[in-house]
Structure 1
Amino acid sequence: MSVDPLAEIVTLLQPSASYSKLVEYGGRWRIRRDIEGKPVFFAVLEGECRVVSSGRPPIIVRQGDFVLSPSTSDHIVESIEAPPHGIAMMPVDIGEGRFRVGPPAEPVNLRMQVGLCSFSSPDAALLVSLLPAMIVARGAPRLALLLQLVGDETRHTRPGRELVLERLLEVLLIEALRFGADIMSVPSVARGLSDDRLVSALRAMHGWPARGWTVADLAAEAAMSRSAFCARFHRVVGLPPMEYLLAWRMALAKRLLRTRELAIEHVAAQVGYGSASTFSTAFARHVGMPPMRYVRTMRAV
């Protein structure tokens, strides 16, 4: 079975667009991005600016660059010559889907298409943890085209609008993860899929989640010793292999339970458990409630 783990994760996230707008910047400015804890993305159409995030060095992004922050950690976007620390500004609506940041008398020196999206999946926090905290893609014209399509859809009410936006954002996320210039610098599943050894193990876990995988089995898929495989997987993906497998199985189990079409024992079998009781114990330990209570909770939503 040919399975694309990255596509599976992005599809399970169920992305939707809140808005996409054109923002013009002038003079010296600073904006703190932590809007409702939602993922943010932007494309630099003209000019340059600095992005400052906790836990990583500041980066300069320029015309043609695309930045995506799928996690909800806040970050600061500021002009190269930023104002004194502590001054924050908000975009001002200037009409026709355009916003302005910075002193109004200053000439425009930066234009960006900025978007805010959300992930509808109840497992969003788990799934996002498998992705890089921030992705910077440079020189990827396909991303600019996708952003134009997203912006056009958000500004009009057409039949099938939500479905089109969901699919566009899925492609946008995958493209950003494909071309991210710095995804190799932080542990994530995207980095694991670019590792010529680990990719086989990741595809095996996603392709056959019902199989009773052991560390030895997965190490064999990667053609590595168990100790070398575990160390490399943890370093590159960010989780030990069996912990990653458990997280993925639980995400799949939640999706199956939400469909309300399968009995608990059938869900258990599809995600690698030999009995409903062992599955229920693992599920309750991981999720914080037994499977049936989870189903009832989802019905009430």
Structure 2
Amino acid sequence: MVDPLAEVVTLLQPGARFSKAVVGAGSWQIRRSDAGAPFYCLVLEGGCRLALDGREPIELRSGDFILIPAAYGVGMSSMAPRSGDAPEALPVALATGEFRIGDQDGPTDLRMLVGHCSFGSPDAGLLVSLLPQLVHVRGEPRLATLVQLVRDEFRERRPAREVILARLIEVLLIEALRSTAGTAASPGLVRGLADERLAVAIRRMHESPTRAWTVAQLAKQAALSRSAFFERFRRAVGLAPMEYLLAWRMALAKNMLRQNEGGVAEIAERVGYGSASAFSVAFNRYVGLPPARYAREQTESVTLAASTLRGSHAGRPEP
């Protein structure tokens, strides 16, 4: 059986780019702007509040994991009340490598891991549009086990600690994306797959992207009326069924063009278009470049990167 989420995650190539341990004490508030970067927060001990632009604050407790695939305005504050006109807290670097916010003296009441993950795919923006805007995981036994492993690594400070932490966080990211039960996910693929009927239709689109699907045919797969399916899909996934199918076809096409997996006509057929010209029009409208030009620019980019890397090594003395 085709696994749509696994396909999206595989193309995304998630990784742990940057993380830092933060401890908090007393009353504090802090705000950050991440310009669309993927942001995550793992609460190891205690609790805090998190607020995104246009959303009600969320209370985070020990063991909670938050993933925001494209973060912009993110505000965090202590559970303790703080006046609205109080200045924002500035993290203070400690000798232990952690950062402290709030009261600088006395016992801490919060320990968390925050940072940026990375999506290695050049099409991250396109693929992120298929994911929820916010994933909040709580009470997942598998996630709790991973959290405990992360907590132990931070405390023990054993050899290869950073390598292990990076791998554990990568697994956390994937586990969070596929967690559905007990997850307050915003509209996106995760929420769509949590709906048994919609999940059938989504899997069919991934199994047979070449098929000339219609809303009526997909509704039949989901055992729903056309109108009920359309509204239910749009509310859960955040896109209309045909918009989702187009986004997935374009993601597949871009990956094939990047990997030089055939000519334009062949790729057109593999993603459900009856002719190269119809595919080129759709691709150009969606991506902003004709497929042949996109493939050429991707090849040139890879060649330039390889040439730059060889040049940097050429000037180094032999060991």
Report the TM-score range of the alignment, normalised by the length of the smaller protein: 0.7 to 0.9
Residues 235 and 264 (structure 1), Cα distance of their counterparts in 2 relative to 1, 3 Å cut = same
Structure 2 match to 1:244: 244
TM-score normalized with structure 1 length: 0.88
Structure 2 match to 1:103: 103
Higher RCO structure, 1 or 2 (CA under 8 Å, sep 6+): 1
Question: Residues 197-208 of structure 1: matches in 2 within 5 Å?
Answer: 197-208=197-208
Q: Which amino acid aligns with 1:49?
A: C
Q: CA deviation at 1:242?
A: 0.6
The answer to whether the aligner puts 1:264 opposite 2:301 as a matched pair is: no
Distance 1:173 1:193 in 2: 17
Q: CA deviation at 1:145?
A: 4.3
Structure 2 match to 1:55: 54
Give yes or no for contact 2:4–2:203 (8 Å, CA) kept in 1.
Answer: yes
SS of 2:253's partner is helix
Structure 1 match to 2:9: 10
Question: Residues 1-301 of structure 1: matches in 2 within 5 Å?
Answer: 2-35=1-34, 37-85=36-84, 87-146=87-146, 148=149, 165=166, 171-177=171-177, 178-179=179-180, 181-183=182-184, 186-301=186-301
Q: CA deviation at 1:149?
A: 5.4
TM-score normalized with structure 2 length: 0.83
Distance 2:29 2:290 in 1: 46
Structure 1 match to 2:311: none
Structure 2: gaps of 5 or more residues? 302-319
Residues 70 and 76 (structure 1), Cα distance of their counterparts in 2 relative to 1, 3 Å cut = same
SS of 2:212's partner is coil
Residues 170 and 265 (structure 1), Cα distance of their counterparts in 2 relative to 1, 3 Å cut = farther
SS of 1:114's partner is strand
Q: CA deviation at 1:59?
A: 1.3
Q: CA deviation at 1:6?
A: 1.2
C-alpha RMSD of the superposition? 2.7
Q: Which amino acid aligns with 2:50?
A: V
Structure 1: gaps of 5 or more residues? none
Q: Deviations over 1:173-195 (max 9, x none)?
A: 332131574435x3211111111
Q: Please say which of residues 97-106 and 38-47 is displaced more in the overlay.
A: 97-106
SS of 1:24's partner is strand
Distance 1:151 1:294 in 2: 46
Q: Which amino acid aligns with 1:5?
A: P
Identity of aligned residues (%): 52
Larger radius of gyration: 2
Distance 2:204 2:41 in 1: 34
Q: Please say which of residues 29-38 and 246-255 is displaced more in the overlay.
A: 29-38
Q: Which amino acid aligns with 1:16?
A: G
Distance 1:151 1:34 in 2: 30
Residues 180 and 133 (structure 1), Cα distance of their counterparts in 2 relative to 1, 3 Å cut = farther
